[in-house]
Amino acid sequence: MKALYTAVLYKPLLNVLIVLYSYVTFRDLGVAVVLLTIIVRFALWPLFHKTTRSQIVMQKIQPEIKRIQKEQKQNRVRQSELLMELYRKHNINPLSGFGLLLIQIPVIIALYQVFLNGFKDISASLYSFVPAVSSMNHFFLGFVDLTQPSIVLTVAAAVAQFIQGKTAGTQTKSEAPRDPNEAPDTAALISKQMMFIAPVITLVVLWNLPAVVGIYWFTTTVFSIFQQAIVHAHLRTEAAR
């Protein structure tokens, strides 16, 4: 299993990073990490897009879900049937996010290992057509040492995480207005809490990690913000048809 993981994920990602570093970014490792992160996110676009769409639509149809659960609380079979009809109507699978997350986890782990460990002894992991790198420039834009923690990048990643949560909450709220007399939505409350918890977690996790991980975290979060906006735009277009 480890050999398969190395051959399918770790080595390809490491080699793409070295190619970017050698030929595209003028030996700026930080810029190479940014580009590799963007490439991976585009490669995983369909997975992230589907997950994000399902999450947004699930938030929008919460009032209908609650109504069905309330009206059919004595008949669980009928409740399940109506909920499945609702999910089919909106073309979502409430469990799809878990499956897609399982697919994404190995990729995220591979990226993490590439950024943390890939620069120590990479000669044995390079393909024959990839140029050997005798020494790596571990600086981003000439002044951020990627092997050391960076408070600036850590704070930037946390702020980006907050903006992502804030944007998601604002857009979902605007598309799914709630009756002020209705009881608070548990999912919405959790989402609001995560808007503050996620940045704190980001600060704690990245505080002592090398800045190279902070660059990845910041880049993928900013990418998610734009992807979120695109998904919302697509949903508004669908609703207008």
Per-residue pLDDT tens digits for 197-222: 888 998 998 898 888 888 989 999 99
Provide the pLDDT for residue 174. 43
Provide the pLDDT for residue 105. 75
pLDDT at position 117 over 90: no
User: Minimum mean pLDDT among 7-21, 99-113, 128-142, 226-240: which range?
Assistant: 99-113
Q: What is the mean pLDDT of the chain?
A: 81
Taking a C-beta distance cutoff of 8 angstroms, is the pair 115, 216 a contact? yes
Per-residue pLDDT tens digits for 128-152: 888 877 777 888 888 888 888 899 9
CA angle 8, 10, 13 (to 5 degrees): 95
* Beta-ladder partners of 139: 145
Output the DSSP codes for 167-236: HHHHHHHHHS---TTSPPPHHHHHHHHHHHHHHHHHHHHHTTS-HHHHHHHHHHHHHHHHHHHHHHHHHH
Provide the pLDDT for residue 179. 52
Provide the pLDDT for residue 96. 64
Average of per-residue pLDDT across 168-175: 54
Amino acid at 233: A
Cα–Cα dist 94/227, whole Å: 20
Tell me the whole-structure pTM to 2 decimals: 0.78
Most confident of 77-86, 91-100, 227-236: 77-86
Average of per-residue pLDDT across 62-86: 88
End-to-end, the C-alpha distance of the chain in Å comes to 47
User: Percent of the chain beyond pLDDT 90?
Assistant: 14
Provide the pLDDT for residue 181. 52
Phi, psi for 144 (deg, rounded to 5): -100, 115
pLDDT band, very low/low/confident/very high, at 38 (cuts 50, 70, 90): very high
Average of per-residue pLDDT across 39-44: 89
